[in-house]
Chain A
Amino acid sequence: MADERSTKPGSKRLWITIATILPFILGIPLWLKSTQVYRAALPFKEIDDFQTWASGNSLKLPCRLNIIIASSDELLTKPQFASVASLLAPHLQSLRPRDSPDEDESCQNGFDIQVTYDSKKVCLRSKEGLDSLYWPCGLLDYGFLRAAHLSDDILDNLFWNYAYTRTAKTNESEAGGLYTIILLHKSQFENAESFNTDADDATGTNGQSNQHKAESGSRTVVGKYRHAWIIGDLDFSSFETEVVPRVSEVARTFLGGSRSASGRSKPRNLPLSADGEAILSFSLLNAEPEDWTFDWDFEDLKRKFFQPVVDALKGVARLSLESQVLYYTPKAVKSQWDAAHNAHVVPVKQLPFFVNSNEWHLDSSTAATGRSKLLHLAVYVPGAKEYPLHFLHKNGKLSLTDGFTSPGWGGVVVYNPKNVSLLDGDIHSSAHRITAKDFESVAGVIVAQLRTLFGLPPVLQDDPQRGFFILSSARTGFAEWELDLLLRRRAVSDMAAAASTLTSLSSLVRNLPSMVIKDEIGEQVKSSLVAADAARDHAARGSYLHTAEAACEASSLAEEAFFHPSIMSVLYNPTEHHLAIYTPFFVPVLLHAVLAVIKEVSRYRREWRRFKQKRE
């Protein structure tokens, strides 16, 4: 038969076809290797640990409370002092901020309390808990009690001066969270009456309070720094009923701010970018320049009013200022003429529609890039047709400020120029300048708005009925103990933000096995964790500024890592895509190569059979 052959079939063709397919098999490891993406190692375990910590704890800063009982006569004996000290401690230890369900603002383990009895002869301390930051005894020798003119402001500065100069080691960064309450005996003041009236003049409260004060007999003042003092008839027998409630009220104010004035139950996050910055953009809006135009010397106003505020807030937020003057910026809502008030009024209900986002080009800042935070502070100058412009309350009263804020956005205040009849004559003259004197009232409103935006009441509320006063820090806008409060809030929120951002990032990275993670992201995550650790260390040591700084750095770095532009989200790459991408490279060649191998093998076997048949 023809299907017999005499020679052995050659295997050359077989080997060649097999050699064709071999590189594909050998190439598989290379292929797998080359399709891998670069992923920097992220410290997943540390992130998880951090998150576990953050879910159970928040970054609490410690607070220390120094209570000084200053008396010239022998008010207390030693055992009496001991009982007073033991009376105060349990009352204050477990204090919580008033009306606040969350504990964001509260301190680590409540207050660390030291009671000192500072009289001319003895100096007793309840414990030596507050390492070197203690109150030096000898306040009564300081001599100010006999000063002719005393007012709360003077007294406040005197106390601050005393503590600052006499304490050996008081640097600003260590002072955070160290509060002092001074109990003074009324009889120590030789001219206490003049002091009271002076104080009333200074605070501008009405005459009624005098009587009330006389009745209650004591006076509590919270100062601009971290001091408060209570002047009253100190007496051991009435200590528990009279003094202790007052002390705890002051302590609660230090802890949670003067909350009764604010209707909000929960303070919002601070209006800051992740790295703790914000730009305050001041705009002067000339609604109708045909009538009159106003201009300002912003550098001068800034120096006079806002720079001290910015400097005071330095630890809490890095604020920068900028300004612009805009023309033809009508408001969006129509005002009505109110004959009763002889003014054009906008009902408070309509304020949400006041801002005219089409015509007010507020957002023109070049400094505000990326994720930075911008707060608009607009000063609105009404035109002649709507002059004077005021806001009207539901109860028919005019607004005291003619201003409003919008959380996270900023604030608007209406400026009604004075002496407008003089202006009418020279319509066509150049712009009128707003002087610092004119601006003072507006500046007060703007500072109140800033305070609102930062989650504090616009102004601190006195309670003359009970003789409870809180001094306003007229230069800086924020009292130092309020800054402590903001720092505590910020440390907590920054730390929580850092933890949640890092957790989001780590879960994202784990869900996306093909996501490229640059070394830079790994570095940012690691530094963020380091900063978070540092924040916890600083918090344990009670250093407010350093803690806030480190917590801010942690959250800022975490944010940067999360929003790193190299992480792109087009990462969905299902099997079909894989096939679609690789099929053209493999199948056309591979299919034929495999077919050829099959063909060759079967041919070889057929030939081999023929050869075997022949042999047989």
Chain B
Amino acid sequence: MGPVLSHVMVLLALIAGGHATLGPAHTNNWAVLVCTSRYWFNYRHMANTLSLYRTVKRLGIPDDHIILMLADDMACNARNKYPAHVFNNEDHRLNLYGDNVEVDYRGYEVTVENFLRLLTGRHDAAVPRSKRLLTDENSNILLYMTGHGGDKFLKFQDAGDIQSNDLADAFAQMYEKKRYRELLVMVDTCQAATLHSQLYSPGVFAMGSSLKGENSYSHHLDPDVGVTVVDRFTYYTLQFFENLDIFSNTTLQSLLRSYDPKLLDSHMHYRNDLFSRPLDKVLLTDFFGSVMEVEHTRTSYPMYGDDMGVYEPEEEVEALKASPFSEEEVSEVPINPGKFQSTSDLQVTLGLLTLVIIVSVVSVTLLGKGDIVVVIFSSNVEIGGGYYSPKDENDVQRRHKRSDLNGPAKSVALQEPWHVLTNINIQFYVVIEGRWLTSGTGPKAVPHLVP
């Protein structure tokens, strides 16, 4: 019975394997590398992203297929002791900012809106090709994001954030328009696993550096540069990629196994429930590298008719793809439509304030005696929810200095406290016959500190 069973198993495995090689493979690779944080003390995020940039470029993804978003310019920062250099290691062996670094979105261009426009392809007509993700249904996309994150969000610059739902909906739209074949999301932030918790589009594989409630830590401090230069998760990822080349058969599985929670000081988390291929069949070069699919031109066309080409019947069309595996069809998983609700409107506030005034006036005139005073005092009304904005440049500087002093060794939570609620203050007093009847204040901005 045993041998028969094993034969059946082998047969089944063969069938499954045979099936896995049926679907058409991807024909092009794209990489979107995003560093979302500004300022000198976030040097390591720029270094993380540039390291990944070098890696995917070394493995063959051409520059016009890499969208590099850097929220700040470390190489030219006034505090950089090595101008025009960016290092990801204290040994300074490798200048990440060497030749041919093509930054597509720089500085204040790195916003949530631009990022989502990039993913969904809804650009203004004037946006050049180099800033667009011109993918099709045969594209594999690598999306690497690093910055400061928290539970289900990733902070962009110091002024916005992307929610995990925004990300999930953007992927859903990409899936609708067949803008990718497979998508690998790699996130190196605190609580990175929460960012991919809401995804629901088929074909997405997501991995994050830390679980909910965990911080992702930096790897080491460069005393010369004065800040930490690389994050742990990215550091060990790069170490893994160091010896790989484009012909490598290393699979995603072995990358996932290589992360040691003791070294990372956090637990790498991945999600493959949306992904159809088994992880030990997914080559890393399917996402981190690219081999141009070429077809040798067998014969030339007889222009002017005086040179009829001679053909070689034995030469078949050569689809010279190095990958030994091809991929399964992305299975049809019904899309769970995302929830969306309405946005706010400035008119509401203004209308309400006016109403309150009108009512007060009416009540005063109707009821005779002018002993009602309504004081409406509002300041700094930010409609739609904003975040803490520094008062002035000094404020920013102060904070940064403080963070620098904190010692970067284990400090990932270097960003300033920021606020979820709007900074609004309405005071409303009704004074009748000399006594306070009602009075109210808006909520003091509720500090919501995140690592």
Count chain A CB atoms within 10 A of each CB in B173, B301, B438, B442 and give the residue with the most.
B301
Note all chain B residues with C-beta closer than 8 A to A31: 348, 351-352
- Are A405 and B297 in touch, CB under 8 angstroms? yes
Interface string of B293-330 (1 = CB under 8 A from A): 11111111111111111111011111111100000000
Other than A508-B176, A592-B438, give 5 A-B pairs with Cβ distance below 8 A.
A441-B307, A475-B303, A513-B342, A569-B119, A592-B440
The verdict on A440 contacting B297 (CB below 8 Å), with A563-B122, A581-B384, A584-B443 known, is no
Given contacts A348-B318, A584-B443, contact A400 B298 (CB under 8 A): yes
**Residues on the B chain within 8 Å of A459, using CB:** 298-302, 309, 311
How far is the CB of B1 from the nearest CB of chain A, in Å? 41
Given A349-B320, A592-B440, CB of A368 within 8 Å of CB of B129: yes
Across-interface contacts of A262 in B (CB, < 8 A): 317
Q: C-beta contact mask, B145-161 vs A, less than 8 Å → 1, else 0? A: 00000000000000000
| CA distance in complex: A13, B177 (Å) | 62
Question: How far does the Cβ of A182 sit from chain B's closest Cβ, in whole Å?
Answer: 22
B301:A458 contact, CB within 8 angstroms: yes
The 4 A-B residue pairs with the shortest CB-CB distance in the complex, in nearest-first order: A263-B317, A357-B62, A474-B305, A204-B308
Indicate whether A166 reaches chain B with its CB closer than 8 angstroms.
no
Interface residues of A in 216-259 (CB under 8 A from B): none
- Which residue among A403, A515, A563, A570 has the maximum number of chain B CB atoms within 10 Å of its CB? A570
Contact digits for A582-602, partner B, Cβ 8 Å, 1 yes 0 no: 111111110111011000000
Contact in complex: A569, B120 (CB < 8 Å): yes
Q: Which residues of A contact B358 (CB under 8 A)?
A: 23
What residues of chain A lie closer than 8 Å to B130, measured between beta carbons? 363
Say which one of B88-96, B225-233, B249-257, B419-427 lies at the interface with A.
Answer: B419-427
Given contact pairs A477-B303, A596-B438, A408 touches B342 in the complex (Cβ within 8 A): no
A511 touches B337 (CB 8 A): yes
Closest to A444 in B: B300
Q: Which of B83-109 contact A (CB under 8 A)?
A: 99-100
Across the interface, do A444 and B367 meet the contact criterion of CB distance under 8 Å? Answer: no
Indicate which residue in A19, A358, A592 contacts B428 across the interface (CB closer than 8 Å).
A592
Cβ contact within 8 Å between B363 and A19: yes
Residues in chain A near residue B76, CB distance under 8 A: none
Summarize B's interface: helix, strand, loop or mixed.
loop
Partner of B443, one of A408, A451, A588: A588
Residues of chain B touching chain A, judged by Cβ–Cβ distance below 8 Å, are: 27-28, 57, 60, 62-64, 99-100, 112-113, 116-117, 119-130, 132, 134, 136, 163, 165-166, 169-170, 173, 176-178, 246, 291-312, 314-322, 337-345, 347-349, 351-352, 355-356, 358-359, 362-363, 367, 372, 383-385, 420-422, 424, 426, 428, 430, 432, 437-443
Residue A615 at the chain B interface, CB threshold 8 Å: no
Please name all residues of chain B whose beta carbon is closer than 8 Å to the beta carbon of A451 when the two chains form the complex: 301
Contacts of B127 in A (CB 8 A): 370
Given known A472-B305, A585-B426, contact A570–B166 (CB-CB < 8 A) = yes
Bound-state CA distance A368–B126 (Å) is: 11
B123 & A400 in contact (Cβ 8 Å cutoff): no
Do A572 and B348 form a contact, CB below 8 Å, given A204-B308, A452-B295? no
With A571-B169, A581-B422: A363-B64 Cβ-Cβ less than 8 Å = yes
Contact flag A264-B317 (CB < 8 Å), given A370-B125, A448-B297: yes
Cα distance A351–B176 in the bound complex, in angstroms: 34
Q: Which residue on chain A has the smallest CB distance to residue B291? A: A352
Flag if A448 contacts B176 (CB, 8 Å): no
CB-based contact A444/B301 at 8 Å? yes
Given the known A-B contacts A399-B296, A458-B300, are A569 and B173 also in contact in the complex, defined by CB atoms under 8 Å? yes
**Are B134 and A580 in contact, CB atoms less than 8 angstroms apart?**
no
Q: Which of B126, B300, B344 contacts A448 (CB 8 A)?
A: B300
B129 touches A370 (CB 8 A): yes
- Assuming the contacts A358-B100, A588-B440, asked whether A405 and B295 have C-beta atoms less than 8 A apart, the reply is yes
Within 8 A of B (CB), among A505-519: 507-508, 511-515
Could you tell me if A515 and B300 are in contact, using CB atoms closer than 8 angstroms? no
Complex contacts, B121 vs chain A, CB 8 Å:
371, 563
Task: Check B297–A15 contact: CB distance below 8 A.
Answer: no
A404 to B318 Cα, complex, angstroms: 10
Q: Which of A34-42, A49-57, A529-537 contacts B (4 or more CB under 8 A)?
A: A34-42
- Give residues in A with beta carbon < 8 Å to B: 12-13, 15-17, 19-20, 22-23, 26-27, 30-31, 34-37, 153, 202-205, 261-264, 305, 348-349, 351-355, 357-358, 363, 368-372, 374, 391, 393, 395, 397, 399-401, 403-409, 411, 413, 440-441, 443-445, 447-449, 451-452, 458-459, 461, 472, 474-475, 477, 500-501, 504, 507-508, 511-515, 562-565, 567-575, 577-578, 580-589, 591-593, 595-596
Indicate whether A474 sits within 8 Å of B303 (C-beta atoms), given known contacts A34-B345, A569-B166: yes
Which B residues are in CB contact (< 8 Å) with A368? 129
Q: Which residues of A contact B359 (CB under 8 A)?
A: 19-20, 22-23
Tell me the nearest residue of chain A to B309, going by C-beta: A459
Provide 10 A-B residue pairs closer than 8 Å at the C-beta atoms, listed in order of the A residue. A20-B359, A261-B311, A407-B293, A504-B177, A515-B340, A563-B122, A569-B120, A572-B165, A589-B428, A592-B439
Given A351-B320, A504-B176, A563-B122: A584 in contact with B442 (beta carbons within 8 A): yes
Is A472 a contact of B129 with CB atoms below 8 Å? no
Q: A348-B320, A515-B340 are in contact. Are A355 and B122 (CB under 8 A)?
A: no
Which residue in A353, A514, A581, A595 is a CB contact (below 8 Å) of B340?
Answer: A514
Give CA–CA (A445, B302) in the complex, Å: 8
Give Cα A589–Cα B443 distance, bound, in whole angstroms: 11
Contact A458 B299, CB 8 Å, known A512-B340, A592-B439: yes
CB-CB nearest in chain A for B99: A358
Contact B165 A37 (CB under 8 A): no
Q: Which chain A residues border B356 with CB–CB below 8 Å?
A: 23, 589
Are A575 and B341 interface neighbours, CB within 8 A? yes
Q: Which residues of A contact B351 (CB under 8 A)?
A: 27, 30-31, 34
A102 to B305, CA, bound (A): 33
Q: How far is the CB of A542 from chain B (nearest CB, A)?
A: 29
In the assembled complex, the Cα of A74 lies from the Cα of B337 at a distance in Å of: 73
- B362: nearest chain-A partner, CB-CB: A19
By the criterion CB–CB under 8 Å, are A352 and B437 in contact?
no
Name the distance in Å between A594's Cβ and chain B's nearest Cβ: 10
Chain B residues with Cβ below 8 Å from A19 are 359, 362-363
B297 CB contacts on chain A under 8 angstroms: 401, 403-405, 411, 413, 445, 448-449, 452, 458
Tell me which of B112, B119, B317, B384 has the highest count of chain A C-beta atoms within 10 A of its own C-beta. B317
Partner of B301, one of A264, A351, A477: A477
- Docked Cα-Cα span, A593 to B440, in Å, equals 9
| A472, A585, A595: the one within 8 Å of B352 (CB) | A585
- Chain B residues whose CB sits within 8 angstroms of the CB of A406 once the complex forms: 292-295
Which A residue's beta carbon lies closest to that of B426? A588
Q: Is the CB of B352 within 8 A of A27?
A: yes
Query: How many angstroms from the CA of A517 to the CA of B326 in the assembled complex?
Result: 40
Q: How far is the CB of B219 from chain A (nearest CB, A)?
A: 29
Residues of A with C-beta under 8 A to B343: 35, 37, 514, 571, 573
B349: A residues at CB distance < 8 A: 585
- When chains A and B are docked, how far (Å) is the Cα of A563 from the Cα of B367? 58
**Contacting residue for B315 out of A393, A575, A587, CB 8 A:** A393
Residues of chain A lying within 8 A (CB to CB) of residue B123: 370, 563, 565
List chain A residues, Cβ under 8 A from B441.
588
Residues in A with CB closer than 8 Å to B355 are 23, 26-27
Known: A370-B129, A458-B301, A472-B308. A569 touches B169 (CB 8 A): yes
The minimal Cβ–Cβ distance linking A418 to chain B, given in whole angstroms, is 15
Question: Cβ of A511 and Cβ of B340 under 8 Å apart?
Answer: yes
